[in-house]
Structure 1
């Protein structure tokens, strides 16, 4: 996805992603760092690996039915069992992230009941040029207009300042 977007844009792109998408985007940015201008991760869900590998569940839902039907209903998205198999085979969601050395920001809500704050902090610790912001009382879905405004304002400021550097 990053490669196609960078080709269409004819240069590095600004990557912004939330939750499991943030995990995937961080991995991709580490694989093709020259194609990423900035990386913004909102509530990166690195916890999904621990949930699957240690508890055989996602967000408290057991995965046995998913294996039987071939997919898991992940908030309205059908998550195939290939992903579950990759995780149980030892996927390390932090392994290549540090190869992206450009500007990065991680924003995580302190009231996130799905992904504990420490997972967002870990991404900020692993990324060489990252900042971390904990937003008081924000939940995983950033479920209020003020919280979403905060995300967008931080994004605009971040991308704008990265373009000046």
Structure 2
């Protein structure tokens, strides 16, 4: 018999549906849980290994597809309808749902965000500071607004649609972050934060991770030598182990 149970869980909010998978330890008592938020054009499957590792070690996990977050997403919305803030709505709906699950220790809910999902996770953590016990960020893409504001410096320069890495984004994605400065909106989350960042990241410069770590009152940054934007199998295993240790130390 497996140490954990996986289950498809659909969450509805704002007239749309989120597709997700829960990984829960096969035990009676309430357990801590980690909510995983994938990066740009990722899906819930980005965190299968992490979730199975946690569940085997007595920690629950929920991984989901952001609405419009990927060309492979099983959740609602087109990629051209997605923005940072629709993704934040998705994550907030997930938190609101999971904190009421019978087998979840609602005092020990943790957020884990990767890349763009890290940006979204950081925003949600500020709003849900009382409910969330700790935050883990994997090469969080705090550069997103800076990058696009440089590319489209005026509202007039924003196109109706723009393709990035095979993903079609709509005007509202860029308009919603026009003139947005992420470091003015994060850093007040007062519990522990752990940031993972590679020193060879060419998508999100390490400086963004370091600046975030300095901004939070209780944050550590773990720098992975030789890793870029997307870790090797060995480093991902280390991230899973450190996530498990972080949850146990903070529960």
TM-score (norm 1): 0.82
- 1:147 and 2:243 equivalent? no
Secondary structure at 2:121 match in 1: helix
Deviations 1:23-78 (A, max 9, x none): 11101111221121110001011112221112339xxxxxx7x824x3533x4554
C-alpha contact 2:196 2:222 (8 A) present in aligned 1? yes
Q: Is the 8 A contact 2:187 2:212 kept in 1?
A: no
Please state how far the C-alpha of 1:3 moved relative to its aligned partner. Answer: 4.9
Q: What is the correspondence of 1:33-112 to structure 2 with a 5 Å cutoff?
A: 33-56=129-152, 67-68=159-160, 70-73=161-164, 75=165, 77-88=167-178, 90-112=179-201
SS in 2 for 1:134: strand
SS in 2 for 1:33: coil
Cα gap change, 1:37 to 1:79, in 2 (>3 Å): farther
Shift of 1:22: 0.3
Q: Which has the larger radius of gyration?
A: 2
**RMSD in angstroms over aligned alpha carbons?**
2.1
Which one has the bigger helix percentage? 1
Hey, which of these two has a bigger chunk of strand by percent?
2
* CA distance, structure 2, for counterparts of residue 39 and residue 25 of structure 1: 8
| Structure 1 unaligned blocks of 5 or more | 58-63
Residue 61 of structure 1: aligned partner: none
How many aligned positions are there?
A: 152
**SS of equivalent residue, structure 1 residue 128:** coil
Q: Tell me how far apart the structure 1 counterparts of residues 170 and 210 of structure 2 sit (CA, whole Å).
A: 28
TM-score (norm 2): 0.55
Q: Is contact 1:6-1:35 (8 Å) kept?
A: no
SS of residue in 1 equivalent to 2:184 = coil
Runs of 4+ in 1 over 6 A off after TM superposition: none
